[in-house]
Amino acid sequence: MTRFRLTIEYDGRPFMGWQRQAHGPSVQQAIEEAIRAITHEEVVLHAAGRTDTGVHALAMTAHVDIDKPITPFRLADGTNAKLRPLPVAILGAQVVEEDFHARFSCIGRRYIYRIVNRRAPLALEAKRAWRVPVVLYADDMNKAAQALVGKHDFTTFRSAQCQAESPVKTIDRITVRRLGEVIEIEAAARSFLHHQVRSMVGCLELVGRGKWSKADLKAALEAKDRAALGFNAPPDGLYFVEASYPGER
């Protein structure tokens, strides 16, 4: 048996999320079926994160165990061929030690949320960014976001369906920057609660349009109450960017 580490890019629009679902297509199912088609083995894919319906990934890390002798190049190339025309691509595959686990070995996860701040509708990026038609002040959003950095009880920003044992998480970094009409919000932490990034982005959008202040955001955090949340940003603009592991830069 060989354990392979995969780096995966996908457009989340056609899927019910990463995790295999009984009621709709998932990224996990699509890749497992593609690998089964070339190896004739029943495989289970383990990922660094479980993205929701409509959430995208630029470089999701996953691992899979395969009995059949196969090279990393053949695994990646063959899987990509079987995945067509789905918007999923194996960017790379490599052999790793048997104790490597995409989820449990991971020491850092990074997301980016993209807002297109313009009045005109999205012709090319529909469902791949959140269009906000009113002017947002990214500097104010960035200053307010620093209230979320560090170790906190993030109950306010946690989905009611979240299965994490504790609402306490440590945010290593949040930055908000404007690139023309695009506002990018980057969040990095060891792990996140269910809906945490989208909930934080929804509140930062309120700051950007002047409805909330940094003090309001801090008060919502300190309330430790989901009722204090502004709202959840839609999944459209959320991208899983990177999973980090020991010994890697």
Residues 96/111, Cβ–Cβ less than 8 Å: no
Return the axis-axis angle of helices 196-208 and 138-145, rounded to nearest 10°: 130
In order of their start, the domains of the chain are 2-96 (3.30.70.580), 108-243 (3.30.70.660)
Q: Please determine, for residue 116, whether its predicted confidence score (pLDDT) is greater than 80.
A: yes
Arithmetic mean of pLDDT, 55-77: 97
Arithmetic mean of pLDDT, 196-222: 97
Arithmetic mean of pLDDT, 17-26: 90
Q: Please determine, for residue 22, whether its predicted confidence score (pLDDT) is greater than 90.
A: no
Catalytic positions: 52
Provide the pLDDT for residue 175: 98
Q: Find the distance separating the first CA and the last CA of the chain, reported in whole Å.
A: 28
CA–CA gap between residue 3 and residue 66 (Å, rounded): 6
Provide the pLDDT for residue 23: 85
CA distances from 21 to 7, 91, 182, 245 (A): 21, 24, 33, 28
| Type and span of the H or E element at 196 | helix 196-208
What phi and psi, each to the nearest 5 degrees, are found at residue 152? -145, 165
Q: Please determine, for residue 142, whether its predicted confidence score (pLDDT) is greater than 80.
A: yes
Closest alpha carbon to 38 in 9, 2, 69: 69
**pLDDT tens by residue, 150-187:** 999 999 999 888 878 899 999 999 999 999 999 999 99
Q: Please determine, for residue 248, whether its predicted confidence score (pLDDT) is greater than 90.
A: no
**Model pTM score:** 0.95
pLDDT above 90 coverage of the chain, percent: 93
